[in-house]
Structure 1
């Protein structure tokens, strides 16, 4: 009988302690996707990338139009062209198409690499800002990934504002 009484008392004390401890824990949540889209450093990084890759993108668009024009010309005039001319035009089209595909692939790879570099810097700044807010406002834990987070613990706007104001 004594064993049952002590374990019941231990369970009640444990439950009381857990309730008290949970009430004292300050939890926050940050939506990282929003931070990476809305914070000024993230917007500046995106603008920097657009400017950096603008010329190559325009070159690719010109090549695509040239390819389209060549294809339309082959379709329109292919039947009336001589066999040699048609073969030369098809060969020219295929060479340009291969070059276009290669340049397009290189463009995507370079853009993705630079985007990852730029966003890594923004993410590092965001994490430092989150840590500063957590320390200043005495948060015990701040989550960045969650299936659900109540709006009352969401500090995303605060992080975006702090990041946007930081120099």
Structure 2
């Protein structure tokens, strides 16, 4: 009986001692914003977004110039206008101003949508490369230091060089 108890205790001790070896964590980190900035596709996306924003700005500027012209004309002729015409012009100016504001909001939404559309493949490519490097190098966890706000992080390996190599950067 004593032999069985000693054997079980020894087996339990060996199992417990072996468990930490199996559960070894390998932690890595990466600044994904830096990685994405290095990717050549990002330059093309930035160029496309700049052109898109410039076109939106031109349309907004045209609308604003039209509004300014109508407002100036209204102010110059306001004293000689009949009340009915005044009210009609004021309503037109209010409507035009409201359309300008709506266009600004819609433009911002369209810009963000376009940005998300264009960046999605780049983000996917970066994510896939990070996952591949993590799997190849057997990392248990990979932290993204670009947006976590981590002030203290566990010891780990910066996998940015490995991912850059994976992407041919």
Alignment of 1:1-167 (within 5 A): 6=8, 10=12, 12-23=13-24, 25-64=25-64, 66-67=66-67, 80=79, 82=81, 83-84=83-84, 86-136=86-136, 138-145=137-144, 148=150, 149-150=153-154, 152-156=156-160, 158-160=162-164, 162-163=166-167, 165=169
**For this pair of structures, how many residues does the alignment match?**
161
Of 25-34 and 54-63, deviating more is: 25-34
CA contact (8 A) 1:28 1:139 kept: no
Distance 1:134 1:31 in 2: 14
- TM-score using structure 1 length: 0.65
Distance 1:161 1:92 in 2: 60
Q: Structure 1 residues 151 and 20 mapped into 2: Cα distance closer, same or farther (>3 Å)?
A: closer
- TM-score using structure 2 length: 0.65
Structure 1 unaligned regions, length at least 5:
none
- Tell me the secondary structure at the aligned position of residue 110 of structure 2: helix
